Amino acid sequence: MDQITIAKLLEPFLAQSLAPAQLNNISTYINMLLRWNARINLTAIRNPEEIVTRHFGESLFCAQQIGAEKLCAQNLDARSPHERQPVVDIGSGAGFPGLPIKIFSPEIFLTLIESNQKKVAFLREVIRELDLKDATVFPGRAEDFAPTSPNNVVTLRAVERFSDILPTALRLAGPNGSLALLIGEDQVQSTRDLAPDIKWQVPVPIPLSQHRVILLGNAMFP
Protein backbone atom coordinates (compact mmCIF):
# COMPACT_ATOMS: atom_id res chain seq x y z
CA MET A 1 0.00 0.00 0.00
CA ASP A 2 1.34 3.47 -0.88
CA GLN A 3 2.29 6.00 1.78
CA ILE A 4 -0.30 8.61 0.75
CA THR A 5 -3.15 6.13 1.27
CA ILE A 6 -1.72 4.98 4.60
CA ALA A 7 -1.36 8.57 5.83
CA LYS A 8 -4.95 9.35 4.87
CA LEU A 9 -6.31 6.29 6.65
CA LEU A 10 -4.34 7.13 9.81
CA GLU A 11 -5.58 10.73 10.04
CA PRO A 12 -8.41 9.99 12.53
CA PHE A 13 -5.93 8.40 14.95
CA LEU A 14 -3.08 10.93 15.03
CA ALA A 15 -2.71 14.55 16.06
CA GLN A 16 -0.02 15.05 13.41
CA SER A 17 1.18 13.19 10.36
CA LEU A 18 3.92 10.61 10.52
CA ALA A 19 7.30 11.18 8.88
CA PRO A 20 7.94 9.61 5.45
CA ALA A 21 10.33 7.08 7.01
CA GLN A 22 7.65 5.98 9.47
CA LEU A 23 5.08 5.62 6.69
CA ASN A 24 7.58 3.62 4.66
CA ASN A 25 8.11 1.27 7.61
CA ILE A 26 4.36 0.77 7.93
CA SER A 27 4.04 0.09 4.19
CA THR A 28 6.81 -2.52 4.36
CA TYR A 29 5.27 -4.04 7.49
CA ILE A 30 1.86 -4.35 5.78
CA ASN A 31 3.38 -6.08 2.77
CA MET A 32 5.17 -8.56 5.04
CA LEU A 33 2.03 -9.15 7.08
CA LEU A 34 -0.06 -9.92 3.99
CA ARG A 35 2.59 -12.25 2.63
CA TRP A 36 3.12 -14.17 5.88
CA ASN A 37 -0.57 -14.17 6.73
CA ALA A 38 -1.28 -16.44 3.79
CA ARG A 39 0.87 -19.10 5.47
CA ILE A 40 0.52 -18.79 9.24
CA ASN A 41 -2.71 -16.84 9.87
CA LEU A 42 -1.33 -13.86 11.76
CA THR A 43 -4.58 -11.90 11.61
CA ALA A 44 -8.18 -12.56 10.63
CA ILE A 45 -8.29 -9.14 8.96
CA ARG A 46 -7.31 -9.51 5.31
CA ASN A 47 -8.30 -6.16 3.81
CA PRO A 48 -5.23 -3.88 3.66
CA GLU A 49 -7.20 -0.72 4.46
CA GLU A 50 -8.79 -2.38 7.49
CA ILE A 51 -5.35 -3.58 8.57
CA VAL A 52 -4.22 0.05 8.56
CA THR A 53 -7.14 1.30 10.64
CA ARG A 54 -7.76 -1.61 13.01
CA HIS A 55 -4.16 -2.64 13.65
CA PHE A 56 -1.91 0.32 12.92
CA GLY A 57 -4.39 3.09 13.65
CA GLU A 58 -5.41 1.72 17.04
CA SER A 59 -1.81 0.90 17.98
CA LEU A 60 -0.54 4.34 16.99
CA PHE A 61 -3.41 5.97 18.87
CA CYS A 62 -2.27 3.97 21.89
CA ALA A 63 1.31 5.16 21.35
CA GLN A 64 0.08 8.73 21.24
CA GLN A 65 -1.81 8.31 24.52
CA ILE A 66 1.21 6.70 26.20
CA GLY A 67 3.39 9.58 25.02
CA ALA A 68 1.04 12.19 26.45
CA GLU A 69 0.69 10.32 29.74
CA LYS A 70 4.43 9.86 30.19
CA LEU A 71 5.09 13.53 29.38
CA CYS A 72 2.65 14.53 32.12
CA ALA A 73 4.33 12.14 34.55
CA GLN A 74 7.74 13.57 33.75
CA ASN A 75 6.53 17.11 34.38
CA LEU A 76 5.00 16.07 37.69
CA ASP A 77 8.02 14.35 39.18
CA ALA A 78 10.74 16.39 37.44
CA ARG A 79 12.34 13.44 35.70
CA SER A 80 14.51 14.10 32.68
CA PRO A 81 12.45 14.50 29.48
CA HIS A 82 14.92 12.09 27.86
CA GLU A 83 14.17 9.29 30.32
CA ARG A 84 12.20 6.45 28.76
CA GLN A 85 10.60 3.45 30.42
CA PRO A 86 10.90 0.21 28.45
CA VAL A 87 7.75 -1.04 26.74
CA VAL A 88 6.73 -4.70 27.23
CA ASP A 89 4.02 -5.94 24.88
CA ILE A 90 2.26 -9.09 26.13
CA GLY A 91 0.82 -11.52 23.58
CA SER A 92 2.17 -9.59 20.61
CA GLY A 93 0.80 -11.90 17.92
CA ALA A 94 1.46 -10.08 14.65
CA GLY A 95 3.15 -7.25 16.57
CA PHE A 96 0.29 -5.03 17.72
CA PRO A 97 0.44 -2.65 19.45
CA GLY A 98 4.16 -3.08 20.22
CA LEU A 99 5.79 -2.62 16.82
CA PRO A 100 3.69 0.40 15.74
CA ILE A 101 4.53 1.99 19.11
CA LYS A 102 8.21 1.44 18.29
CA ILE A 103 7.71 2.98 14.83
CA PHE A 104 5.95 5.95 16.48
CA SER A 105 8.64 6.34 19.18
CA PRO A 106 11.90 4.86 17.83
CA GLU A 107 13.80 5.77 21.01
CA ILE A 108 11.95 3.27 23.24
CA PHE A 109 13.28 -0.09 24.37
CA LEU A 110 10.71 -2.68 23.27
CA THR A 111 10.19 -6.31 24.24
CA LEU A 112 7.55 -8.34 22.43
CA ILE A 113 6.31 -11.41 24.33
CA GLU A 114 4.93 -14.17 22.11
CA SER A 115 4.78 -17.92 22.71
CA ASN A 116 3.80 -19.04 19.19
CA GLN A 117 7.10 -19.83 17.48
CA LYS A 118 5.85 -19.10 13.96
CA LYS A 119 4.70 -15.67 15.08
CA VAL A 120 8.03 -15.21 16.86
CA ALA A 121 9.79 -15.82 13.52
CA PHE A 122 7.57 -13.22 11.85
CA LEU A 123 8.19 -10.62 14.55
CA ARG A 124 11.94 -11.09 14.35
CA GLU A 125 11.84 -10.79 10.58
CA VAL A 126 9.90 -7.50 10.79
CA ILE A 127 12.39 -6.14 13.31
CA ARG A 128 15.25 -7.15 11.02
CA GLU A 129 13.63 -5.82 7.84
CA LEU A 130 12.72 -2.47 9.40
CA ASP A 131 16.10 -2.27 11.17
CA LEU A 132 14.47 -1.49 14.51
CA LYS A 133 17.09 -0.96 17.20
CA ASP A 134 16.46 -1.87 20.85
CA ALA A 135 13.59 -4.22 19.92
CA THR A 136 13.61 -7.88 20.96
CA VAL A 137 11.24 -10.85 21.07
CA PHE A 138 10.84 -13.10 24.10
CA PRO A 139 9.74 -16.50 22.71
CA GLY A 140 7.67 -17.74 25.60
CA ARG A 141 4.88 -17.07 28.06
CA ALA A 142 4.56 -13.76 29.88
CA GLU A 143 4.54 -15.64 33.18
CA ASP A 144 8.09 -16.83 32.44
CA PHE A 145 9.50 -13.44 31.43
CA ALA A 146 11.87 -11.67 33.82
CA PRO A 147 12.11 -7.98 32.91
CA THR A 148 15.49 -6.27 33.11
CA SER A 149 13.92 -3.02 34.32
CA PRO A 150 11.83 -2.67 37.50
CA ASN A 151 9.56 -0.09 35.85
CA ASN A 152 7.97 -0.72 32.47
CA VAL A 153 5.08 0.35 30.30
CA VAL A 154 3.12 -2.87 29.71
CA THR A 155 0.71 -3.08 26.79
CA LEU A 156 -2.13 -5.55 26.27
CA ARG A 157 -4.43 -5.87 23.27
CA ALA A 158 -7.02 -8.55 22.51
CA VAL A 159 -5.33 -11.21 24.62
CA GLU A 160 -7.08 -14.39 25.67
CA ARG A 161 -7.79 -14.96 29.38
CA PHE A 162 -7.51 -11.23 30.10
CA SER A 163 -8.42 -11.55 33.78
CA ASP A 164 -5.79 -14.27 34.20
CA ILE A 165 -2.99 -12.33 32.49
CA LEU A 166 -3.64 -8.99 34.24
CA PRO A 167 -1.76 -9.97 37.44
CA THR A 168 1.24 -10.90 35.30
CA ALA A 169 1.01 -7.55 33.52
CA LEU A 170 1.03 -5.80 36.89
CA ARG A 171 4.14 -7.75 37.93
CA LEU A 172 5.95 -6.88 34.72
CA ALA A 173 5.05 -3.20 35.03
CA GLY A 174 6.91 -2.99 38.33
CA PRO A 175 6.40 -0.73 41.37
CA ASN A 176 6.45 2.51 39.38
CA GLY A 177 5.41 1.21 35.98
CA SER A 178 2.26 1.69 33.98
CA LEU A 179 -0.29 -0.18 31.88
CA ALA A 180 -1.81 0.65 28.50
CA LEU A 181 -4.77 -1.61 27.74
CA LEU A 182 -6.70 -1.76 24.47
CA ILE A 183 -9.95 -3.29 25.66
CA GLY A 184 -13.71 -3.18 25.24
CA GLU A 185 -15.50 -0.53 27.26
CA ASP A 186 -17.45 -3.32 28.98
CA GLN A 187 -14.13 -4.55 30.45
CA VAL A 188 -13.20 -1.26 32.11
CA GLN A 189 -15.02 -1.76 35.41
CA SER A 190 -13.88 -5.35 35.82
CA THR A 191 -10.30 -4.19 35.17
CA ARG A 192 -10.61 -1.57 37.89
CA ASP A 193 -12.01 -4.20 40.24
CA LEU A 194 -9.20 -6.64 39.48
CA ALA A 195 -6.50 -4.01 40.06
CA PRO A 196 -7.83 -1.54 42.65
CA ASP A 197 -4.36 -0.34 43.64
CA ILE A 198 -3.65 1.04 40.17
CA LYS A 199 -4.40 4.69 39.51
CA TRP A 200 -6.60 4.32 36.43
CA GLN A 201 -7.27 7.22 34.11
CA VAL A 202 -10.53 7.96 32.34
CA PRO A 203 -10.79 5.53 29.38
CA VAL A 204 -10.23 7.15 25.99
CA PRO A 205 -12.48 6.01 23.11
CA ILE A 206 -10.56 4.70 20.10
CA PRO A 207 -11.44 6.58 16.89
CA LEU A 208 -13.70 4.78 14.40
CA SER A 209 -14.65 2.28 17.11
CA GLN A 210 -17.96 2.04 18.94
CA HIS A 211 -16.87 -0.03 21.92
CA ARG A 212 -13.04 -0.13 22.22
CA VAL A 213 -11.04 2.16 24.49
CA ILE A 214 -7.52 2.86 25.72
CA LEU A 215 -7.28 2.45 29.49
CA LEU A 216 -4.11 3.82 31.05
CA GLY A 217 -3.07 3.19 34.61
CA ASN A 218 0.03 3.55 36.72
CA ALA A 219 1.33 2.17 39.96
CA MET A 220 3.24 5.28 40.88
CA PHE A 221 2.85 6.07 44.55
CA PRO A 222 2.02 9.67 45.54
Q: What is the pLDDT of residue 70?
A: 58
pTM exceeds cut of 0.85: yes
Residue 220 pLDDT greater than 70, yes or no: no
What lies within 8 Å, CB to CB, of 164 at 6+ separation is none
Residue 181 pLDDT greater than 50, yes or no: yes
∠ Cα 163 188 88 (to 5°): 60
How does residue 76 score in pLDDT terms, banded at 50, 70 and 90? very low
Residue 82 pLDDT greater than 90, yes or no: no
3-state DSSP assignment of residue 93: coil
Chain segment 100-151, per-residue pLDDT in tens: 999 999 999 999 999 999 999 999 999 999 999 999 999 999 999 999 898 9
Residue 73 pLDDT greater than 60, yes or no: no
Instruction: Please check whether residue 134 is in contact with residue 110, taking contact to mean a CB–CB distance below 8 angstroms.
Output: yes
Chain segment 6-58, per-residue pLDDT in tens: 999 999 999 999 999 999 999 999 999 999 999 999 999 999 999 999 999 99
Q: What is the pLDDT of residue 221?
A: 52
Q: What is the pLDDT of residue 72?
A: 46
Cis peptide leading into residue 86 (ω within 30°) = no
Residue 200 pLDDT greater than 60, yes or no: yes
Residue 81 pLDDT greater than 80, yes or no: no
Question: Can you spell out the DSSP letters for 180-192?
Answer: EEEEEGGGHHHHH
Segments forming the whole domain that contains residue 58: 3-218
**Total tally of structural domains belonging to the chain:** 1
Residue 190 sits in a domain whose CATH number is 3.40.50.150
Q: What is the pLDDT of residue 163?
A: 87
Distance CA 113, CA 91 (A): 6
